[in-house]
């Protein structure tokens, strides 16, 4: 079981087929630490052993902010930095008491890149995302600040997370007319049950040869197949295993559970049976085989067993017909999209 590598969009950098997401590192949920530093290092070791070289974090991951970056930096201290592709992000408040400690102003970007580099114990980032679109800061200011980081060698490539297609298009245009480095990678919410909702966005990425690194590629765990309907007439009712996200996160139903979701999950399960794989592996493979652009899903894991299941997607083959069956499962017999 080993990951292969693919070019990251139009860049010359090659990354593993899956990216390891570290948002759980140092994160406390109801006062309980989800992944401590020892566990984080064990997961990073396992990811590396399976061929992984692409690691995603953010300045606000962990409690307190920056803990995830610190865990990764301590792990990297005993390794060759050049062997890994590191991504981090900027936007959210790092210091709640500082009125300039948030957003995408030149001041905040400059302050946060220094903190991120220090915590990661490196002098450069391979990829720096804007975590959200900033409605208060002119995009020209943001892009100019980011371009400066590229020119200074502190950042190799730029990325954009969670924005509308028109915002991405505007940012690309502003970069081109000002001769700034442009976004090479995007990080949208994108999974097998959430496709046409972001189709315009994906089309922009395909046309501009921008890599797509979807977060929540398994719909918060819904597409792993561990959830079951509780009422065939009410798609919002479900049974969740103890400890699963849907058993405690009140946002889970609003984000992921719908008639459309169940139809897609049914097809994912059917294909999984046909190819002798798990639903999670098929859902990841569906993303990895997206034909219009390079897609590198971001996967998380609490245990090495979960990581192994995710990495196993690299060994799964689904046919074009099977891919289209999953894609089309969100539509009824009249070609209308199932409700949320």
Tokens of 15: 């990354």
Residue 163 CB coordination number (10 Å): 20
CB-neighbour burial class of residue 334 (10 A; exposed 0-12, middle 13-18, buried 19+): exposed
**Phi then psi dihedrals of residue 194, to 5 deg:** -140, 85
The token duo for 189 is: 């919410």
Question: Is 61 part of the annotated catalytic residue set?
Answer: yes
Token pair for 212: 């797509």
Nearest-angstrom CA–CA distance, 278 and 280 = 5
Element spanning 106, H or E: helix 106-120
Taking a C-beta distance cutoff of 8 angstroms, is the pair 326, 286 a contact?
A: yes
Tell me phi and psi for residue 165, to 5 degrees: -65, -35
Q: How far apart are CA 247 and CA 190, in angstroms?
A: 22
Selected catalytic residue, list 5, 61, 84, 256: 61
Q: Which residues of 221-244 are buried (b: 16+ CB within 10 A; e: fewer)?
A: bbbbbebebeeeeebeebebeeeb
Element (H, E) at 140: helix 139-151
Dihedral sign of CA atoms 84, 89, 90, 93 in order = negative
What's the length of the chain? 340
Please answer whether residues 219 and 193 qualify as being in contact, where contact means their C-beta atoms are separated by less than 8 angstroms.
yes
DSSP 159-192: EEES--HHHHHHHHHHHHHTT---EEEEE-B-BT
Catalytic residues: 61
């Amino acid at each position: 079981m080993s990951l292969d590598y693919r070019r990251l969009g139009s860049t010359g950098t090659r990354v593993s087929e899956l990216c390891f997401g570290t948002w759980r590192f140092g994160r406390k949920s109801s006062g309980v630490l989800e992944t401590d530093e020892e566990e984080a290092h064990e997961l990073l070791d396992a990811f590396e052993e399976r061929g992984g070289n692409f690691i995603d974090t953010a300045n606000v991951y962990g409690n307190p902010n920056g803990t995830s970056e610190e865990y990764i930096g301590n792990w990297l201290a005993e390794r060759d930095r050049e062997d890994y592709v590191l991504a981090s992000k900027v936007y959210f408040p790092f210091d709640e008491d500082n009125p300039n400690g948030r957003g995408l102003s030149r001041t905040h970007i400059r302050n946060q890149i220094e903190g991120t580099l220090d915590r990661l114990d490196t002098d450069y980032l391979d990829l720096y995302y804007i975590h959200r679109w900033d409605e208060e800061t002119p995009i020209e200011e943001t892009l100019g600040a980011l371009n400066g980081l590229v020119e200074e060698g502190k950042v190799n490539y730029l990325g954009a997370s969670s924005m509308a297609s028109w915002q991405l298009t505007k940012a690309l245009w502003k970069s081109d007319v000002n001769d700034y480095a442009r976004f090479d990678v995007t990080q949208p919410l994108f999974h097998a049950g959430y496709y046409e909702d972001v189709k315009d966005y994906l089309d922009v990425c395909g046309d501009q040869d921008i890599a797509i690194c979807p977060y929540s590629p398994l719909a918060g765990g819904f597409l792993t197949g561990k959830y079951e309907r509780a009422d065939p007439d009410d798609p919002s009712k479900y049974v969740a295993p103890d400890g699963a996200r849907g058993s405690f996160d009140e946002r889970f139903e609003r984000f992921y559970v719908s008639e459309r979701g169940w139809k897609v999950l049914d097809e994912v399960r059917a294909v999984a049976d046909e190819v002798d794989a798990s639903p999670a592996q098929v859902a990841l493979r569906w993303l990895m085989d997206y034909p219009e652009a390079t897609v590198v899903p971001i996967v998380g894991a609490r245990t090495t067993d979960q990581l192994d299941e995710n990495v196993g997607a690299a060994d799964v083959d689904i046919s074009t017909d099977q891919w289209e069956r999953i894609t089309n499962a969100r539509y009824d017999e009249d070609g209308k999209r199932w409700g949320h």
